[in-house]
Amino acid sequence: MAKGLGLALVGIVLAGCERPIPETVQSGYRGTGMAQVYNARLLEVKTEKNQPPVVIPSAGSDGPKASKVYKNVKVLGDLSVGDFNRLMVSMTSWVAPNEGCAYCHALPNFEDDSKYTKVVARRMVEMTQHINADWQPHVAQTGVTCYTCHRGEPVPSAIWFKSDPQPQGSNFIGDKAGQNTPSPVVNLSSLPNDPFTPFLLDKQNIRVNGPTALPSGNRQSIKQAEWTYGLMTHMSTSLGVNCTYCHNTQSFQNWENSPPQRVTAWHGIRMARDLNLTYMESLTEVFPANRKGPLGDVAKLNCATCHQGAYKPLNGAPMAKDFPELLKPALAAAKVAAK
């Protein structure tokens, strides 16, 4: 019996251990806590999941334009037929490799817009061009393609919908304010489980305290600060990093001594908000009911949609360089060529 109790105690102790022993990478002076912690076993899995796909070689820009050969080409008509077909084949492998062309097209009529997936895909191409052209403070020259988010799946694995702040039965214990409903979004903590609506859709202040003393305008209470912690928890998990990747432990709120990644993250938050408002919300009437959330809203993106556990999506693979048609809006490219 004593032996069994001893084994049980050993099991309890070892249950709190992590294998293998985590590795730390120091990014600041010793003793400041400026270090990133990595588990080699988990890092290997993330690395494998973030491998870029094989790129189909360009067919060249020679030959007739797609808009002259095919009907109803509204976004990519300035591409050569060869490069247009190359992108279509690539998009199929990026988004719907099992379904094929029929996922978006009402075969055999490729010009038909009756499928909602085709309308959405066209808008997503425009969104990709917008990201690469106008959000370089976040994506830099690396850029994104459809694969960055989709990874071979019609629906990206990391999307979000608005959550009901007052679910049925919550009045029994008062207004839960979205808290105490454990969610993977906030690592199963008691933090608000929808930290996205206030910050990646609305423009609420992302703070843990107010800029002034009470009572003159300081409305950043502890309760409100927990929404900020929820967003920060999501960002940390999404990028596979801890707080010191963007913040200096000497003063988390100080910008001057923060790592440069904090500025990149600042732009990323605003980029996500822009994309959700400009592109995703505008498709509300296009998506069918079965593709919407419980409150009737469309799927939206957050940090995990692109990053998926890597501090740089696809481990920093320069996805967009092989597809210059996705680096800037086709309309803008046509205007430049016409000058």
Q: Would you state the pLDDT for residue 163? A: 85
Is 235 labelled a binding residue?
no
Average pLDDT over all residues of the chain: 86
Is 130 labelled a binding residue?
no
Out of 171-175, 208-212, 322-326, pick the least confident: 171-175
Q: What is the DSSP string of 61-130?
A: S-S-BHHHHSSS--SSTTSBHHHHHHHHHHHHHHH-TTTGGGGTSBTTBTT---SHHHHHHHHHHHHHHH
- For tokens 């967003």, name the residue: 231
| Residue 101 placed within a domain | no
Res 231 pLDDT > 80: yes
Is 17 labelled a binding residue?
no
Q: How far, in Å, CA of 249 to CA of 27, rounded?
A: 11
b (16+ CB within 10 A) / e for 46-65: beeebebbeeeeebeeeeeb
Farthest CA pair distance, the chain: 87
| Residue 33 placed within a domain | no
Res 339 pLDDT > 50: no
Res 338 pLDDT > 50: no
| Residue 212 placed within a domain | yes
For 162-252, where are the E strands, in sequence order? Answer: none
The angle, 0 to 180 degrees and rounded to 10, between the axes of the packed helices 116-134 and 261-275 is: 150
| Residue 173 placed within a domain | yes
Is 105 labelled a binding residue?
yes
- For tokens 């949609």, name the residue: 305
Res 4 pLDDT > 70: no
pLDDT in tens, 108-122: 999 999 999 999 999
Q: Would you state the pLDDT for residue 105? A: 97
| Residue 259 placed within a domain | yes
Q: What is the CATH number of the domain that holds 263?
A: 1.10.468.10
C-beta separation of 325 from 83 below 8 A: yes
Q: Would you state the pLDDT for residue 12? A: 56
Provide the residue range defining the domain that includes 275. 158-307
Q: Would you state the pLDDT for residue 283? A: 97
User: For the chain, how many structural domains are there in total?
Assistant: 1
Q: Would you state the pLDDT for residue 251? A: 87
| Residue 63 placed within a domain | no
Is 101 labelled a binding residue?
yes
pLDDT in tens, 21-61: 777 777 777 777 788 777 777 777 787 888 999 999 998 88
pTM for this predicted structure: 0.85
Q: Would you state the pLDDT for residue 188? A: 83
pLDDT in tens, 125-147: 999 999 999 999 999 999 999 99
| Residue 201 placed within a domain | yes
Q: Would you state the pLDDT for residue 335? A: 42
| Residue 322 placed within a domain | no
Q: Would you state the pLDDT for residue 229? A: 92
Res 334 pLDDT > 50: no
C-beta separation of 37 from 22 below 8 A: yes
The token duo for 27 is 């990014």
Is 234 labelled a binding residue?
no
